[in-house]
Each structure stands twice: as structure tokens, then as C-alpha cells.
């Protein structure tokens, strides 16, 4: 018997009275997804709880820290403050989609490993998605541009220098991979 004051959401948390059960369809890391969600579900919860994307991390849950950053149609967004219905028909990319099917790391992942940009690792998935979005828009960013992009992700470790170096190295590896020798 259900509680008349709440409804059970697809994402597992009680939905406030009045939330609607809706269907959305989107591409997740290149694969088509169909989900039934509560109308008030946020993308972070749908990705983690419904679709098993554990690399998307919740921290501040206010769209400030960047740990939950994913790409929606190539634009970095805070998945904790994006309603899931907003991605209906969109392409969503998470850190789980960066490596090749055979496990080969992406240039961004290799660069962060080479340069120690992962530090404690908590913010790394968000940093990797920011780097991916940046390099698609600006293949050879200068330090100021890199600083502007990663400023939306809070790293609570010792600093950003290794992250800056990682983004620069990712640009080099991406260019080399694309045949543009640096």
C-alpha cells in the first residue's frame, strides 16, 4: 500500500506530491537510452542510479563544484542542477564514454595519468569532461583559456598546476592522435 503523501520515483527517492512520471529518450555515450523518470529528477540521479554511470559524482549538489560535469550536446553542464527532462533528444557524454571499447584510454585520460592531474581523483571525472569539451571547441588553448574552463570545477587537493599541465598534454596528445603532429 502506498503512502498517499508521496509517490515513488524511478530514481529511487520519494517524489514530492505532484511529480509526473515521464519518458525521455537521449543518447548516452553513443547508445540510445529510453527512461521513465519523475518530472523533477535531476540528470545526476538518473545517470548514477538508473544508468550506472558512477563516474558522475555528486558533491555540492548546487551546480558549483563541477564534480558532476557531463557534456550535453558538447556543452559542459552540472548534472546535479539539470533536470533530466532537459536532455530529451540530446547527446549526453560521461567519463564512462571516454575510453575506447577495447579499454584504450582517451588522450585526456592518458594526459591526466601522465601528469598526475588526477590527484585524489574525486574531481577528475568532471575535469576530464571539461577538458574534452574545451579541446573540441579550442584544440590548442592557452593557459588563460584553460584556467577559465577548469575554474568551474573545484579541486580540493593541493592545486591546479598538474591539472593545467594535464590539459596542455591532452591537447598535444589529441593533436597527435588526429594526425596534426605537435
Residue 69: strand pairing partners:
78
Q: pLDDT tens digit string along 59-118?
A: 888 888 999 999 999 999 999 999 999 999 999 999 999 999 999 999 999 999 999 998
Q: How many CB atoms lie within 10 A of CB 57?
A: 22
Give the predicted TM-score (pTM) of the model.
0.86
Give the dihedral sign, CA 91/94/96/100: positive
User: Nearest Cα to 132, choosing from 152, 117, 118, 149?
Assistant: 149
User: Nearest Cα to 31, choosing from 94, 107, 108?
Assistant: 94
Amino acid at each position: 500500500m502506498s503512502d498517499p503523501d508521496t509517490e515513488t520515483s524511478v530514481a529511487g527517492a520519494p517524489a514530492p506530491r505532484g511529480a509526473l512520471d515521464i519518458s525521455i529518450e537521449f543518447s548516452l555515450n553513443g547508445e540510445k537510452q529510453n527512461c521513465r523518470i519523475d518530472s523533477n529528477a535531476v540528470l545526476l540521479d538518473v545517470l548514477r542510479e538508473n544508468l550506472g554511470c558512477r563516474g558522475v559524482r555528486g558533491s555540492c549538489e548546487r551546480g558549483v563544484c563541477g564534480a558532476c560535469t557531463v557534456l550535453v550536446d558538447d556543452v559542459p553542464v552540472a548534472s546535479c542542477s539539470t533536470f533530466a527532462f532537459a536532455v530529451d533528444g540530446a547527446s549526453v557524454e560521461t567519463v564512462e564514454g571516454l575510453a575506447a571499447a577495447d579499454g584504450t584510454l582517451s588522450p585526456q585520460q592518458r594526459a591526466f595519468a601522465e601528469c598526475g592531474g588526477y590527484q585524489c581523483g574525486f574531481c577528475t571525472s568532471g575535469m576530464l569532461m571539461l577538458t574534452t569539451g574545451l579541446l573540441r571547441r579550442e584544440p590548442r588553448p592557452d593557459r588563460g583559456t584553460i584556467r577559465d574552463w577548469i575554474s568551474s570545477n573545484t579541486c580540493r587537493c593541493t592545486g591546479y598546476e598538474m591539472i593545467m599541465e594535464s590539459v596542455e598534454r591532452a591537447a598535444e596528445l589529441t593533436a597527435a592522435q588526429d594526425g596534426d603532429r605537435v
